[in-house]
Amino acid sequence: MPLSTYQASIPMFISMLTNLGDFLKKAERYAEKRKIDKVIFVNARLSPDMYALDRQIQIATDMVKKGAGRLSEKDWPTYEDNEKTFSELQVRIKKTISFLKTIKAKDLDGAENKKIQFAIREHKFKFKGDAYLTEWIIPNFFFHITTAYNILRNQGVNLGKSDFLGS
């Protein structure tokens, strides 16, 4: 039996967002132990031309909630993108997980054949559902999760492969 759109997406998104929340918990404990202002971590970036940690998390959560919404034809929640603390970022992650849990396997039946169209600023995108998932959502999601992980590692947080992959 082939892998369904649901199996290839929702459980993995929830798992990785849970791991992302765990990264933040570790970073918060690290900052408290070392008496470092937590805002430094939230505003940290790998390079001057890259987004900071807060924006990486905002984009990762947007990617999966909008993607799951488009594929399931369900309205997705909108957030203000104003999170500036670990706790606010944790709330955003939890809200996204809660939304993803509302998507059931049957909601994604046939999603691989849906026509997906959207625009980001002046750029227009058109995908078939399976390509949207495998060529847009998943790579972008992992890029921003990985970048968030790397920002925290770069700040000295003791994260490893097992943190990224989860238990």
| pLDDT tens digits along 91-102 | 999 999 999 999
Q: How far apart are CA 136 and CA 72, in angstroms?
A: 16
- The DSSP 8-state label assigned to residue 7 in this structure reads T
pLDDT for 1: 61
Q: Which residue has the tokens 């939230």?
A: 42
pTM of whole model > 0.75? yes
Residues of the chain with pLDDT under 70: 1
pLDDT score at 19 = 98
Residue 167, pLDDT score: 78
Domain spanning 10-157 has what CATH number? 1.20.120.450
Distances (CA, A) of 29 to 34, 54, 98: 9, 17, 25
Cβ 42 vs Cβ 81: under 8 Å: no
Annotated domain spans of the chain? 10-157
SS3 breakdown of the chain: % helix, strand, coil, rounded to 5? 65, 5, 30
What is the per-residue pLDDT for 37?
97
Which residue is it, tokens 């039996």?
Answer: 1
